[in-house]
Amino acid sequence: MPSSIDWRVGPTGEERLATETRPTVLPQKRVGWPWKLLLAGFYGAALLGAAAFGFQVGRIQDARDANLAGIENQLRIETVAWSSGDRELFESTLDPSAAATAELLEEFSASGPAELRYEVLGIEYTPPDLAHVRVRVVWGAAGTGSTRDETRTYRRLGRSWLRSDPR
């Protein structure tokens, strides 16, 4: 049983009927399977590109973390060398081809054992094998010693990062 509703629009007492509106149905375009296949290919390529990009970013971050861990390890070895006065251990943290190696060894031998620690403040990698590291050196007990900020250059030799000359 069909029913209809009349809408009266306007001020009270005005007796006009609203015009009947019908939605316009647009004709549907049928998209063929080649277009759908092409669109699916574009979506697939975009997803593969995003996955490859994310994978590469993750690999770069892992490499940076591993390099930072290697440099921090060298700083820990240097800390042990300073606290024990072990010249050979200190020398193992230095690049043997660096011009400053002899000067650093003289400074180490002249000062004797010292209590110090290092804090890495920042790092900048210079391809292919150099890293410029901002380091805070703290002498003495925590909170009571003196500090000095240095910028050091480390060079990757094999699997180790050794203190080198700035380039």
Which pLDDT does position 63 carry in this prediction? 82
Are 64 and 125 contacting, i.e. CB atoms less than 8 angstroms apart? yes
Q: Exposed e or buried b for every residue in 85-96, given b needs 16+ CB within 10 A?
A: eeeeebeebbbe
Q: Is residue 5 included in any domain, yes or no?
A: no
From the centroid of its chain, how far is CA 105?
Answer: 35
Q: Is residue 22 included in any domain, yes or no?
A: no
Q: Is residue 119 included in any domain, yes or no?
A: yes
Which pLDDT does position 17 carry in this prediction? 55
Mean of the per-residue pLDDT values for the chain? 84
Length of the chain: 167
Q: Which domain holds residue 110?
A: 35-164
Which pLDDT does position 125 carry in this prediction? 87
Which pLDDT does position 149 carry in this prediction? 93
156: domain CATH number? 3.10.450.50
Q: Is residue 44 included in any domain, yes or no?
A: yes
User: What is the end-to-end Cα distance of the chain in Å, rounded?
Assistant: 92
Which positions ≥6 away from 9 have C-beta within 8 Å? 16, 18
Which pLDDT does position 67 carry in this prediction? 86
Q: Is residue 76 included in any domain, yes or no?
A: yes
Work out the widest C-alpha separation in the chain, in whole angstroms: 110
Tens digits of residue pLDDT in 14-35: 555 556 677 788 887 777 888 8
The closest of 51, 71, 52, 57 to 122, measured between CA atoms, is 71
Q: Is residue 13 included in any domain, yes or no?
A: no
Q: Containing H/E element for 69? A: helix 33-84
Q: Is residue 9 included in any domain, yes or no?
A: no
Are 161 and 71 contacting, i.e. CB atoms less than 8 angstroms apart? yes
Residue ranges of the chain whose pLDDT lies below 70: 1-3, 6-20, 141-143, 167
Which pLDDT does position 140 carry in this prediction? 78
Query: Domain count of the chain?
Result: 1
Q: Is residue 143 included in any domain, yes or no?
A: yes
> What would the two tokens of residue 87 be?
């010249």
> What would the two tokens of residue 72 be?
């921090």
